Amino acid sequence: MLHAILVCGALIMTMPFIWMLLSSLKDISQIFLIPPKWIPHPFVWTNYKNSWNFLPFSRAYFNSFYINVIVVAAQLITCSMAAYAFAKVRFPLREPIFVMFLATMMVPEQVTIIPLYLMMKWFGWNDTHLPLIVPSSLINAFGVFLLRQFIKSIPNELEEAAIVDGANRWTIYSRIILPLIKPALSALGIFTFLGMWNSFFKPLIFLNSIDKFTVPMMLNQFRGQYTTDWALLMAASSIAIVPVLIVYIIGQRYIIEGVTLTGIKG
């Protein structure tokens, strides 16, 4: 019975996804038929080619990809350093500072977007990719929390043995801590990639030029003021999710392992 319920729930959750894929192979006259027609007839494979060429979609793909790579790499470095400090380094007011740091997760992004916009305007960064890269690369409270919990599960004896052998903090961090937290780093990298790839709010605020648009912003361009070509939009949406599916399929094991082991201690 439990498995039957789970299968039904999974089917309900995947129905919009299946409808998107099937609609990407229909012409516009088939999408809104009543009663609905699930299987396209005929299959319109040219929707994918037309959606790719209709707008500079390849440029948006490149923009999203390189922004994601930079942000993921930067977050893995900054979050792991901060997490190591909060987990293993003793300094005054460590716990209150960590609590205040976590409190930033409770503030909605919409609340801080106006001060952030004014700061980016003052720096002269509006309509560039820097507002999407720099703030996201410097801080991620969730990433610090995730890695801190994982690092706290590492026995202190390893660090003490390294100190006896003459290792400094940097050596301990780079040669002991980082190799041991690879599952958590993989999970954080995947979460960050998925979040940044699907981000629409910040690009909508900071980007104006179409050649700087990311994938979600480019998808929005298929929606016209008076009409929308839903067949091309569904095809473009199907193309847009390919990197997300690849990353998730490859990293699913690391997500489960990283999140599971994070909760072992602390």
Which domains does the chain carry? 1-44 (no CATH), 56-262 (1.10.3720.10)
Q: Name the residue type at position 231.
A: A
Predicted confidence at residue 226, as pLDDT, reads 59
Is the backbone of residue 127 left (phi > 0), alpha (psi -120 to 50) or beta?
left
CB 131 within 8 A of CB 120: yes
pTM for the model stands at: 0.83
Report the candidate in 140, 136, 129, 240 with the shortest Cα–Cα distance to residue 185: 140
115-145 as b/e: b if 16+ CB within 10 A = eeeeebeeeebeeebebbbebbbeebbbbbb
- End-to-end CA distance of the chain, in Å? 35
**Per-position pLDDT tens, the chain of length 266:** 899 999 999 989 988 888 888 888 888 888 877 787 888 888 888 888 888 888 888 889 899 999 999 999 999 999 999 999 998 888 888 889 988 888 888 888 888 889 999 999 999 888 899 999 998 888 788 889 888 888 888 888 888 888 888 888 888 888 888 888 888 888 888 888 888 898 899 999 999 888 899 999 988 888 765 577 788 888 888 888 888 888 878 777 766 665 555 544 44
